[in-house]
Structure 1
Amino acid sequence: MLEPQTPSQEALPEAPAGLDAVNQQLAEAYPELSPQLKLAAGYVLEHPVEIAFQSIRKSATAAEVTPSTLMRLAKRLEFESYEQFREVFQSAVQAGPVELSGRANQLRSLASQTDDQVFLDVGDAAFDNIGRLFTADNQKKVREAAQLLLGAGKVAVVGFRDTFACAYHFAYVGRIAMPDIHLIRGLEGGLLTELAPFGEGDVVIAFGFEPYCAETMRALEITRANGVSAIVVTDTMRSPLVPGASITFPVANATPHFFPSILSAITLIEVLLAECVAFGPDNLVDNVARFESRMRAMGAYVEQA
């Protein structure tokens, strides 16, 4: 007969192994945190580089909390110490970004020769947003998301108001190679009806930036209840769209413009779909070829002499 375990014999929960796991766990726990822990968690989610290299006292001052609050946050995530918690951020930051072409710097140099500050500010924000997308951490997640999409029976694509352009672009381009991608429009109260066919083995990819649309939240609630895996593209790990997601991409959307930039989200879409075609079955390439042939046969393109 097995002896009952005493509390000291019970297996202790393990701390999250990587930065993405830490961010996901923080996002899941965020709504239930105390106001002080929310301040600490918000700072951690938004400032990974600072957490990696600042002292706990300096990070606490920047987050407007006490050092003990940051230590309590680390303990809540099952880390034995704040230093162990900070090592996760140091490892992720030291992995460094994936190398980008030098064209961006060349373009910035050319742009700096003019005196149109609005033009320059928008350009600076755009380059910065895309630069934040191409990191080693995101490279790994893109591969994981592509495999999830390739293994899905059906893919539902959700994005309303300011992110509808993202959802439409993903669905239109993606469906050329993968016909089982479906754009969810939710017109005239039809959201539930459109999402009813999706269940276990399917995937929903949802786009949403602050202010977050109630329809997007509702779509994720419906699909989660039906066992659909979710990929979320949003602006911060504090987003209410994050809890329950299998994979989350927090993309930078800062801009001097009065509306959040969707440039990083569109770029992410291109990367995801390219990854799917590059590493998916041969029939995806065949689907693209057949689509082009059909379009040309129907006169969809202007043929140049």
Structure 2
Amino acid sequence: MLERETQSADTTPEQACPPTGLDAVNQQLAAAYPELSPQLKLAAGYVLEHPVEIAFQSIRKSAGAARVTSSTLVRLAKRLGFDSYEQFREVFQSAVQAGPVELSGRASDLRNLASQTDDQVFLDVGDAAFDNIGRLFTADNQARVRDAAMMLLAAEKIAVVGFRDTFACAYHFAYVGRIAMPNVQLIRGQEGGLLTELAPFGEHDVVVAFGFEPYCAETVRALEIARAAGIKPIVITDTLRSPLVPGAAITFTVANATPHFFPSILSAITLIEVLLAECVAYGPDSLVDNVASFESRMREMGAYVSNE
């Protein structure tokens, strides 16, 4: 049953001009989310998590799925400066229709080709993996990756944070990143050492933070310390409603759905590869020299086994 509306739901003033693209809509909703009324939070949460449904469902169906009334969705649209819900929905329709579908389509083809088998878990994991990657490679993310790479290249030092389920992401970013950029440091936060490890970082530095639901208290705390010190955060998370988002200079939301019992980190790892590739491609020649020097040192120390 729909929750009843509260009288305070409309206390926030509407915007003068509506955002012109889905990315701008999402960013403004994420920024406003902590201050929204409970009903508008339900509506905003559904909008952030279900762009395809918003694009093609009726307002009544979307409202029912979000557990609000249709008028709440209208108020949310007007809060962002849209004249009507239909104008708001057109942004989602344009973005969804223009989005890449090739990889997700391949996953659907894979399932259709193997529909006669009974190994559904194998197929479902593959389906989710293709879909997650397909959602990463959008025009909005392409521009955001370039901006993030420029921010990383301009930083004096780069801290990398991720705990529990995203520690593998943080470790991978730090290990691979340090090959080209020696100013990358993994923050481990062991034995209450978060403050000590982050103390050398300041306003000329960047922190890259990873976190999926359930969000780790240590990651949230690390970002609080970073923001207080003027460190610019780049956040990789699963939704714009994540507690890691407020105060972020750049936010990436990556899909992590999977039939597996643990959140998938495939998209996050792929994003790391894209970010670091952009850094090397558009950074100074010294980054390429660093990679060559690392490889030479590893070979000299016997780190690799010959395949001859």
1:197 equivalent in alignment to 2:195: no
2:284 and 2:30 map into 1 onto residues whose CA distance is: 34
1:23 equivalent in alignment to 2:23: no
**2:107 touches 2:131 (CA, 8 Å); kept in 1?**
no
Instruction: Report the more deviating stretch, 166-175 or 56-65.
Output: 56-65
**2:106 touches 2:130 (CA, 8 Å); kept in 1?**
no
* C-alpha displacement of 1:101: 11
* C-alpha displacement of 1:102: 8.7
Structure 2 partner of 1:279: 282
**1:92 touches 1:137 (CA, 8 Å); kept in 2?**
no
* C-alpha displacement of 1:246: 1.4
Aligned pair count reads 294
Match of 1:169 among 167, 172, 189: 172
Structure 2 partner of 1:209: 212
**2:103 touches 2:130 (CA, 8 Å); kept in 1?**
no
Structure 1 partner of 2:150: 147
Structure 1 partner of 2:135: 132
Structure 2 partner of 1:256: 259
* C-alpha displacement of 1:227: 1.3
Specify the code of the residue in structure 2 equivalent to 1:147.
M
For 1:225-304, list aligned pairs within 5 A. Answer: 225-304=228-307
Task: Name the % identity.
Answer: 84
Structure 2 partner of 1:75: 78
Query: Cα–Cα, structure 1 residues 18 and 226, in superposed 2: closer, same or farther, change >3 Å?
Result: farther
Specify the code of the residue in structure 1 equivalent to 2:195.
L
**1:98 touches 1:134 (CA, 8 Å); kept in 2?**
no
Query: Cα–Cα, structure 1 residues 111 and 153, in superposed 2: closer, same or farther, change >3 Å?
Result: farther
> Which stretches in structure 2 are left out of the alignment for 5+ residues?
1-14
What is the RMSD computed on CA atoms of the aligned residues?
Answer: 2.2
For 1:70-149, list aligned pairs within 5 A. Answer: 70-97=73-100, 112=115, 114-149=117-152
1:281 and 1:104 map into 2 onto residues whose CA distance is: 38
Query: Cα–Cα, structure 1 residues 282 and 102, in superposed 2: closer, same or farther, change >3 Å?
Result: farther
2:133 and 2:299 map into 1 onto residues whose CA distance is: 34
Query: Cα–Cα, structure 1 residues 81 and 105, in superposed 2: closer, same or farther, change >3 Å?
Result: closer
1:50 equivalent in alignment to 2:67: no
Alignment TM-score, normalising by the size of structure 2: 0.88
> Which stretches in structure 1 are left out of the alignment for 5+ residues?
1-11
Structure 2 partner of 1:32: 35
Alignment TM-score, normalising by the size of structure 1: 0.89
Structure 1 partner of 2:224: 221
> Deviations along 1:179-238, whole A, 9 cap, x unmatched?
111100001111001111111121111000111000000010111111111111111111
Structure 2 partner of 1:180: 183
* C-alpha displacement of 1:73: 1.1
SS in 2 for 1:198: coil
* C-alpha displacement of 1:271: 1.2
* C-alpha displacement of 1:110: 6.4
Query: Cα–Cα, structure 1 residues 304 and 102, in superposed 2: closer, same or farther, change >3 Å?
Result: farther
Specify the code of the residue in structure 1 equivalent to 2:44.
A
1:104 and 1:59 map into 2 onto residues whose CA distance is: 27
Query: Cα–Cα, structure 1 residues 304 and 183, in superposed 2: closer, same or farther, change >3 Å?
Result: same
Instruction: Report the more deviating stretch, 84-93 or 106-115.
Output: 106-115
